[in-house]
Amino acid sequence: MASPMAAAVPITSDCGIKFADALAASTALVDAGLRPTGRGQGRILRGYLQALAALRDACGGSSGGVERAVAYLLTGPESGAVASAIRRYLEVHDRHVTSERRSEAHALALREFTLHPR
C-alpha cells in the first residue's frame, strides 16, 4: 500500500483496511477540533471511534498501537495530544462497554475526552 496509513498500521486483511480507514478518519476529525458528542459532526466522530474500538479488537490491535499510529500520521505540536485523546477515549470505552449501559459508557468517555490532559 502506498499511503502513510500503510506505514503506520500493518494492513494484512480486509479488517485491517477498515481499521486503517476508521483510524485515519478519527484522527482527522479529532485534529480538526471535534469532540465525540451525540449531535452533528461530533456524532460522526463518535461513530468512527466506536468502530475503531470494535475493529481494533477484531483485528487484534492495541490502544498503544493506535496511539503510535496516530502520532506517526500527524506532525506538529498537537500530534501527541490527538493521539492521547483517542487512546483515552478507547480506554474508557473499553472499561465501560461491557456493561449494559452503553450511554453511560459514552458519557464517561466524553467527560474524559480532551486534547489537553490536566
Phi-psi category of 40—alpha, beta or left, where left has phi over 0 and alpha has psi -120 to 50?
A: left
- pLDDT band at 118, cuts 50/70/90? very low
| Entry pTM | 0.76
Nearest to 107 by CA among 95, 19, 116: 95
Three-state secondary-structure class, residue 112? helix
The mean predicted confidence, pLDDT, of the chain is: 79
Q: Nine-digit cell at 76? A: 506538529
Question: For 50-108, what is each residue's pLDDT tens digit?
Answer: 999 888 888 887 777 788 888 888 877 778 888 888 988 888 887 777 655 556 666 66
- Rounded Cα distance, 4 and 8, in Å: 6
CA distances from residue 43 to 34, 36, 76, 78 in whole angstroms, order as listed = 10, 6, 26, 22
Residues 26 and 74: beta-carbon distance below 8 Å: no
